[in-house]
């Protein structure tokens, strides 16, 4: 297993991904200059996606994609992830947390 390094994605004001850096402070400075946002990811654990689906157990956003104690994989909110998960860890085979990519609204 390789160590899972946090990455900070810098998006500009139009929602364009401009840079990926390994330093949170630098990412926040870059985002400030762009009036943009920063989103942190971790390879195989915290993943950027275009759309976070609803929880399979309630109507909240289901940001966790994970194998349930019942067997099948599901999308779950934090509450239902904690309730039905097989592992508190994220990673390949254990589950991922999905974070929604900013919507692109430039020209």
Q: How far is the CB of 67 from Zn ion (least distance, A)?
A: 16
d(CA 86, CA 30): 38
Within 36-95, the residues that bind Zn ion by CB under 5 A are: 55, 57-58, 60, 77, 80
Sheet of 73-76: strand order equals 46-49, 96-100, 64-67, 73-76
Q: How far is the CB of 1 from Zn ion (least distance, A)?
A: 30
Closest CA to 76 of 88, 61, 87, 90: 61
Q: How far is the CB of 61 from Zn ion (least distance, A)?
A: 9
Which stretches of the chain bind Zn ion, using CB under 5 A?
55, 57-58, 60, 77, 80
């Amino acid at each position: 297993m390789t160590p899972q390094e946090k990455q900070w994605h810098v998006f500009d004001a139009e929602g364009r991904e401009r840079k990926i850096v390994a330093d949170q402070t630098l990412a926040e400075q870059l985002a400030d200059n762009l009036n943009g946002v920063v989103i942190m990811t971790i390879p195989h654990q915290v993943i950027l996606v275009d759309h976070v689906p609803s929880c399979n157990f309630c109507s909240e956003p289901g940001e966790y994609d994970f194998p349930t104690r019942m067997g099948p994989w599901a999308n779950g909110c934090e509450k239902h992830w904690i309730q039905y998960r097989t592992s508190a860890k994220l990673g390949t085979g254990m589950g991922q947390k999905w974070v929604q990519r900013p919507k692109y609204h430039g020209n």
